[in-house]
C-alpha cells in the first residue's frame, strides 16, 4: 500500500536569493521519478513537508501553480536547524518531499467573482501560486486585486514577477512598505491600514489573506468593517506540524487538524474553532 510517511526524491533545479540578508531563498524542485510527478496533483494553498534525512522535516506552502508543469517552487526562511540545512543546499542537490498536503483556496467558488489577495512578508508563497493560477484562468474571474506589504522594499519576494504583474492591466497590484524610504513610489503603511484606504468593494468579491499572525489579526476586522461576509474571507493557518496526514495530533485545534482540514479556512469557519486566531 502507499506510505505517506516516505518522502519522494526531488532535485534542486534552481535557487534564487530573495533578500539582502540571504535569509529568504526560493527553490525550484524537479521530480526524479516520472511516477511521482504524475501522482503529484495539487492546487494553490496546499503545502509539502520537506524531508532532510537525519535532520527532520519542515512544512512549506507550495509557491508554484499547478499550471506550471515543470517544477515545484518553495520559498524558505532560515529559522531553525532544518531550514538552516536547506540553505546549505546547492543546485543539483537532492531533498525529500511529502505531499501535496492539506486543502486549498476554493478557486472554484471564486469563479465569476472579484478576488482580493492580501499578503505580508515572505508568507506570500501560496499567494503567488494562487495569482499565477488565476491569471492562467483569467477569463473565469472578474477584477483581481493584490495588496502586498513588506517591512522595506528589499523584503518583497518574487520581485521580478511582481514587476511583470504591475505592467498588466488585468491585475491591480498595490505594494506597501511599513515606513517611507527614498526612491519608493508605492504606498506606505501597514497592510490593514492600506487595505482600508483601498477599500475594496465587498460586492461579489472573495478575499484571501495570508501573512504574519499580527497582520492577519488586524486585517480581518478591516474586512469586517468593509462588510465582507465571513464566508468570503479566507486565510491560511500555520502551526507546528509533523505527520501532515491528520494522525500525530500536533496541529489539532478544536475538532480540526490544520494539516488536513486546513490550512485554508474561511473566517466563518475560524470563528467556530477555538484557539485559531
Partner 1 sequence: MIRIKKENISGFIEGLMSDYVLFAPVKDGETVSFRKIESADSIAEDYMNTDKSPKDIFFPPAEVLFSFDSGEITKNECSEKPFAVWGLRGCDVKSLTLLNMVFGTARQNPEDEMFQDPYWKEKYDNALIIQTACNDPRSTCFCNWFGGSPHDGEKADILVIYIGDAYLLDPKSDKGRKYLETVKNTEPAAKKDIKEAERLRAEADSSLSAVFELDGIVGRMSGLFNSGVWEEIGAKCVNCGACAFICPTCHCFDVQDEGKGKKGKRIRIWDTCMFPVFTAEASGHNPRELSKDRLRQRFMHKYSYFMENYGEHLCTGCGRCVVVCPVNLDIREVAKKVMSYQS
**Considering only CA atoms, which of 126, 99, 150, 125 is closest in space to residue 26?**
125
Closest approach of partner 1 to the CB of residue 261, in Å: 7
Q: Which is nearer to partner 1, 168 or 271 (CB)?
A: 271
Closest approach of partner 1 to the CB of residue 94, in Å: 6
Read off the DSSP letter of residue 32.
S
Q: Which is nearer to partner 1, 174 or 266 (CB)?
A: 266
DSSP assignment of 65-79: -TT--S-EEEEEE--
Closest approach of partner 1 to the CB of residue 171, in Å: 33
**Considering only CA atoms, which of 128, 55, 41 is closest in space to residue 95?**
55
Helices (H), ranges, 23-63: 34-39
Q: Which is nearer to partner 1, 162 or 253 (CB)?
A: 253
Closest approach of partner 1 to the CB of residue 203, in Å: 33
Provide the binding-site residues for partner 1, judged by CB under 8 A: 1-7, 9, 53-57, 79-80, 94, 96, 239-240, 242-243, 245-250, 252, 254-255, 260-261, 274-275
Contact 277, 253 (CB under 8 A): no
Q: Which is nearer to partner 1, 20 or 274 (CB)?
A: 274
Closest approach of partner 1 to the CB of residue 196, in Å: 27
Helices (H), ranges, the chain: 34-39, 81-87, 107-110, 125-136, 159-167, 191-198, 213-225, 258-261, 267-272
Q: Residue written as cell 516520472?
A: 34
Q: Which is nearer to partner 1, 84 or 163 (CB)?
A: 84
Contact 73, 13 (CB under 8 A): no
Closest approach of partner 1 to the CB of residue 84, in Å: 11
For residue 28, give the 3-state DSSP assignment: strand
Q: Which is nearer to partner 1, 28 or 261 (CB)?
A: 261
Amino acid at each position: 500500500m502507499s506510505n505517506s510517511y516516505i518522502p519522494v526524491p526531488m532535485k534542486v533545479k534552481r535557487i534564487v536569493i530573495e533578500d539582502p540578508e540571504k535569509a529568504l531563498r526560493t527553490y525550484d524542485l524537479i521530480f526524479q521519478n516520472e511516477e511521482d510527478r504524475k501522482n503529484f496533483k495539487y492546487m494553490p494553498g496546499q503545502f509539502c513537508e520537506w524531508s532532510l534525512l537525519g535532520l527532520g522535516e519542515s512544512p512549506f506552502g507550495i509557491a508554484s501553480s499547478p499550471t506550471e508543469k515543470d517544477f515545484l517552487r518553495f520559498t524558505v526562511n532560515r529559522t531553525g536547524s532544518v531550514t538552516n540545512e536547506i540553505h546549505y543546499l546547492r543546485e543539483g542537490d537532492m531533498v525529500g518531499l511529502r505531499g501535496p498536503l492539506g486543502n486549498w483556496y476554493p478557486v472554484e467558488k471564486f469563479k465569476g467573482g472579484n478576488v482580493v489577495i492580501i499578503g505580508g512578508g515572505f508568507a506570500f508563497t501560496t499567494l503567488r501560486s494562487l495569482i499565477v493560477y488565476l491569471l492562467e484562468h483569467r477569463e473565469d474571474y472578474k477584477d483581481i486585486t493584490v495588496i502586498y506589504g513588506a517591512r522595506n522594499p528589499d523584503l518583497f519576494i518574487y520581485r521580478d514577477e511582481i514587476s511583470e504583474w504591475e505592467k498588466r492591466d488585468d491585475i491591480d497590484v498595490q505594494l506597501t512598505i511599513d515606513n517611507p524610504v527614498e526612491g519608493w513610489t508605492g504606498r506606505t503603511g501597514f497592510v490593514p491600514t492600506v487595505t482600508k484606504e483601498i477599500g475594496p468593494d465587498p460586492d461579489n468579491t472573495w478575499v484571501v489573506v495570508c501573512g504574519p499572525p499580527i497582520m492577519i489579526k488586524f486585517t480581518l476586522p478591516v474586512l469586517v468593517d468593509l462588510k465582507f461576509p465571513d464566508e468570503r474571507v479566507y486565510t491560511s493557518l500555520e502551526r507546528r506540524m509533523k505527520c501532515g496526514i491528520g494522525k500525530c495530533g500536533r496541529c489539532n485545534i478544536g475538532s480540526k487538524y490544520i494539516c488536513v482540514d486546513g490550512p485554508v479556512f474561511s473566517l466563518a469557519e475560524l470563528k467556530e474553532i477555538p484557539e485559531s486566531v
